Amino acid sequence: MQAFMKAWNEACRTDTGPAKILVPKGTFMTAPVIFQGPCKSNEPIIFEVQGTVKATNDLSQYSEDTWFLFEKIIGVVLIGGGIFDGQGPSVWKYNDCKKNKDCTKLPSSIKFQRVTNAVVSDITSVNSKFFHYHVTDCTNFTANNLKIVAPDDSPNTDGMHISDTNGVKVTKSTIGTGDDCISIGQGVTNATISEVFCGPGHGLSIGSLGKYEDEADVKGIMVINCTLFNTTNGVRIKTWAASPPSAASNITFQDIIMKSVKNPIIIDQKYGSRSSTEPSRVKISDVHYKNIRGTSTSKVAVNFLCSSSVPCEGIELTNIDLSYVGTKDPESPISASCTNAKVKTRGAHPPGCEEL
């Protein structure tokens, strides 16, 4: 930890040009570290990881909710082909978030907070204790050629969770975890997710939204040219029942391939409480599903369970070509289910929502 901090402090103080930190080939164990700005140089700091960095499993050393934290920086580039190993298997047993909504979260592996102009490329993250990447309160975040790996039964190991961030590009990456491959939370605007292979995991998700008061709206989200394999969900929007008001709009899912996906296209506005009598107040509108094809392991391949308080509006299905693969009635066609949703259809689509 001290070596990392010393190198960062020197790089952050440099004002004569771009500074570079190199983690050479080899294996290094470290406790949590915070790389904090503001820094003197106008050039981005290059953080090149060639080796393998392993996280300590002594949870008493984590005073924050993350292992590697980049904070209050203008310009940082994380590259090098190296590996961040969160060593999650030894601590996942302490995660009780499924049973306890007020659980103490385990630390995420890499967090970007209040960072402007961040780039992450050619990095592998394995077995995070919680999220692999957590991006929040940032501007202009770009990630490409990432590899993110955790078992399909590992708890809350989202590949990347993004919130309160404007300007996001995630592309050409392979993600397989025990939770969402990518989850887009409150306050995300102008985000593009492209050429991502997701599986196993819970799919590519917007949400969950509406858990807290005064959440910022989500808008301008494009998910394009992605493949999902053997995931619980495909492309999903999820909001909490009985939520405070907010909105999600201008969302496009386009050119998506589904391979043995349980819920290929889903809007779930009763997330967290199926029995709740209080509807979600997150308004979902202007959502477009275009050119989505492949196989579903459920007969209901399109499921829009929208709010009775603020029904979904401007939902469009265009050229949805999904077939059912299952052990029961393999020849039966797929269908769509729409509740409190105003849907327009064009081209191929599963029957069930045309009249709405």
Question: Closest Cα partner for 161 from 213, 117, 205, 121?
Answer: 205
346 belongs to a structural domain: yes
pLDDT tens readout for residues 257-311: 999 999 999 999 999 876 677 999 999 999 999 999 999 999 999 999 999 999 9
322 belongs to a structural domain: yes
Spatial CB neighbours of 164, under 8 Å, sequence gap ≥ 6: 136, 137, 138, 185, 186, 187, 188, 216
Residue 71 contacts residue 113 (beta carbons within 8 Å): yes
22 belongs to a structural domain: no
74 belongs to a structural domain: no
CA distances from 317 to 143, 190, 314 (A): 29, 22, 10
In this prediction, residue 275 carries a pLDDT of 66
Q: Average model confidence (pLDDT) for the chain?
A: 94
252 belongs to a structural domain: yes
Question: What is the rounded distance in angstroms from the CA atom of residue 20 to the CA atom of residue 46?
Answer: 5
Question: What is the rounded distance in angstroms from the CA atom of residue 14 to the CA atom of residue 232?
Answer: 47
Question: What is the rounded distance in angstroms from the CA atom of residue 313 to the CA atom of residue 283?
Answer: 8
198 belongs to a structural domain: yes
In this prediction, residue 94 carries a pLDDT of 92
Residue 175 contacts residue 202 (beta carbons within 8 Å): no
Confidence band (pLDDT; 50, 70, 90) for 356? very low
Residue 200 contacts residue 176 (beta carbons within 8 Å): yes
Model pTM score: 0.96
Annotation says 134 is catalytic: no
pLDDT tens readout for residues 65-109: 999 999 999 999 999 999 999 999 999 999 988 888 778 899 999
Question: Closest Cα partner for 35 from 63, 9, 13?
Answer: 9
Q: What is the mean pLDDT of residues 337-351?
A: 93
Residue-number span of the structural domain to which 273 is assigned: 180-356
What tokens were used for 115?
A: 């960072």
129 belongs to a structural domain: no
Query: Which is the catalytic residue, given 134, 202, 288, 349?
Result: 202
Is the pLDDT at 339 greater than 60? The verdict is yes
In this prediction, residue 101 carries a pLDDT of 72
83 belongs to a structural domain: no
Q: How many domains does the chain have?
A: 1
pLDDT tens readout for residues 18-72: 899 999 999 999 999 999 999 998 899 999 999 999 999 999 999 989 999 999 9
The CATH number for 350's domain is 2.160.20.10
